[in-house]
Chain A
């Protein structure tokens, strides 16, 4: 992808993904919400909204990290294993309290992110292979230190306050934390030189290098950030579900990639949007929420096996739409 002048129009308000895809994902999200509000009585209940957001906060977090990696033209397949790994670390540290378990879990994720960055930058291993290896490695490490068992957390310490606690008894901390991180990530991407460098690296590594941008430093930052996000998601997992779970996280990397793609970001890098990625993650999560309600109505009854089929079909539709838009854009470029 290349930069084009259309990034400076109204769409910039919704992020610089420079296409109507970003608008498409918002439209789809709003339509689905309106549909669900009209159809199901309890969909708009505070309980549903809060528990939906609380559960999906982990996935939004991972999708955010993934979004930055993808914007540089890379990919991070290790996030699911990293979340599992750091949930185990956090569970082990939980008896010392949140002040140890939270940084410990995040740090565990950052270490694996740093290993990814080292393999990619110093050993020049393609991101796909490097993070595939660390996905296996982190999963192995999580299973080794936990003896392949779920690790129970300490209920005496304040550890569960993070995953189960709420501000003013209304808003879960997890949602607040993710919101703050998302806003920071958005500001960094849209308004700082680091954000511009991330996009420039994705647009063309050599060109960025020649322009004097530090490609290596930027690459390191995005992988460590992605690791930190996955690490924090792991802490949420342990704290919210009461156990470190070495077997969890399977396929999380793929839902994160799907969220980013649904949000209109191309895997080739050089473009992307924080709000659209969050919208993509919410849309994918909402699909399940709506399915559950539909099952609850009793009109149709879809087994759990159908969920992945529907998720795949949904991704297929999004990709078809994207491909059509891309070919249209291609045509209009040629005409000019």
Chain B
């Protein structure tokens, strides 16, 4: 592929991704979401109540935020298995900071630092992943496997494996607060998705990102800063995982390092894939990932609300993933 081709193709895909034309295949996710909604309205008792909406929004926000980051990494042709473990690290750090002597003495500084430091540490985790992948050329699965295995262990060591409960209303606002009548983290997820979608669609960074995922070698030859862009994708993914970890802790007013973000990597990958991401890279449908997160959360909710066991929900989730990828696969051919 020549350089000009890549540039042209990237432009085209970037535009296509941002303003998709309507077709059933492309909007399969949206149709699926509508079907699930219609089913719930007809069958699930008390579905059309604000309480239901709030529960679902607060659950879907963390999946969506992580899935947005995951989409960026997948767009480069990579994968990040460490998101759940990074959530645990960030979630374990926050209460430690605002419960420290410094945090107790200066509550405002403690609050600010208990948000900033965990997100910064999460970003460093992303930097670690990105450096392994881009500088040392380690395959993404293996590179992120390191933090997947040890990240949760680090969080457990930090908290001594114990549940940290706390009473810190200002911090809990992150998970329980409302803005314009809707849960705060829902707005946060939407805002993050909008910013990232803008970055992917409108900035040079976004062009490079998609070009690298489409064909790394030709992107490199065309002068794209491959290393920097790929590392940035992992750093963003790490930071977003950190934010999601803080939200989970804030919702529960408790931090359990063993459980925060457990199996989140699967949900995030599934949401990204259901939303239209392709594992070989080159596509970053950000709002698709949010849509995917909504579908996954709603399927979970639908099954639970109708008395179907959690286990069966797992099987349903696996079938959704396969169906989504299969539809994409036939689209490519």
**Residues of A bordering B, CB below 8 Å:** 75, 119, 123-126, 128-130, 132-137, 139-141, 143-144, 148, 251, 254, 257-258, 261, 266-268, 303-313, 315-316, 319-320, 322-323, 326-327
State which of B153-161, B170-178, B218-226, B244-252 sits at the interface with chain A: B153-161
Q: How many interface residues does B have (CB within 8 Å)?
A: 44
B322 in contact with A308 (CB, 8 Å) = no
Q: Which residues of B contact A (CB under 8 A)?
A: 79, 132, 136-139, 141-143, 145-154, 156-157, 160-161, 266, 269-270, 273, 279-280, 309-315, 317-319, 321-322, 325-326, 329
Contact: B325 with A315, CB < 8 Å? no
CA distance A128 to B309 in the complex (A): 26
Tell me if B153 and A309 are in contact (CB < 8 A).
Answer: yes
**Chain B residues whose C-beta falls within 8 Å of the C-beta of A136 in the assembled complex:** 266, 314-315, 317-318, 321
Residues of chain B within 8 A (CB-CB) of A316 are: 146, 150
- Given the known interface contacts A125-B322, A132-B321, A312-B149, the answer about A319 and B314 at a Cβ–Cβ threshold of 8 Å is no
B309, A319: Cβ atoms closer than 8 Å = no
- Say yes or no: B157 contacts A303, CB within 8 Å: yes
Cα-based distance from A215 to B203 in the complex (angstroms): 42
Question: Within the complex, what minimum Cβ distance (angstroms) separates A30 from chain B?
Answer: 25
Return A296 CB to nearest CB of chain B, in Å. Answer: 20
Question: Bound complex: CA of A260 vs CA of B317, how far in Å?
Answer: 29
A254's contact among B136, B145, B311, B317, by CB below 8 Å, is which? B145
Closest A residue to B321 by beta carbon equals A133
A119 to B313, CA, bound (A): 20
Q: Are B149 and A305 in contact (CB under 8 A)?
A: no
Report 13 cross-chain contacts, Cβ distance below 8 Å, ordered by A residue: A125-B329, A126-B280, A129-B269, A139-B314, A144-B312, A267-B142, A305-B156, A306-B157, A308-B156, A309-B154, A311-B149, A312-B149, A319-B136
Q: Kindly report which residue of chain A lies nearest to residue B128, judged by CB atoms.
A: A316
Q: Are A130 and B322 in contact (CB under 8 A)?
A: yes
Instruction: Give bound CA distance, A245 to B51, whole Å.
Output: 37
B residues within 8 A CB of A326? 137
Q: Is the interface of A mostly helix, strand, loop or mixed?
A: helix
* Smallest Cβ-Cβ distance to A143: which chain B residue: B311
Given A133-B322, A140-B312: A257 and B153 interface contact (C-beta under 8 Å): no
CA distance A327 to B136 in the complex (A): 9
The 6 A-B residue pairs with the shortest CB-CB distance in the complex, in nearest-first order: A312-B150, A308-B153, A140-B314, A143-B311, A305-B156, A140-B315
**Known contacts A123-B322, A124-B329, A261 near B142 by CB under 8 Å:** yes
Task: Supply 5 further A-B pairs (C-beta < 8 A) apart from A148-B309, A148-B310, A267-B139.
Answer: A128-B141, A136-B317, A137-B319, A140-B311, A326-B137
Identity of the chain A residue whose Cβ is nearest the Cβ of B148 in the assembled complex: A254
Residues of B within 8 A of A128 (CB): 79, 141, 279
Q: Are A308 and B152 in contact (CB under 8 A)?
A: yes
Which B residues touch A141, using CB under 8 A? 311, 315
Query: In the complex, A119→B142 CA distance in Å?
Result: 23
Chain A nearest CB, measured from B306 CB (Å): 16
CB atoms of B150 and A323 under 8 A apart:
no
Query: In whole angstroms, how far apart are the Cα atoms of A120 and B36 in the complex?
Result: 28
By beta carbon, the residue of chain A nearest B280 is: A126
* Contact present for B141 and A75 (CB under 8 Å): yes
Cβ–Cβ contact A123 & B329, under 8 A: yes
Which residues of B are found within 8 Å of A315, using beta-carbon distances?
142, 145-146, 149
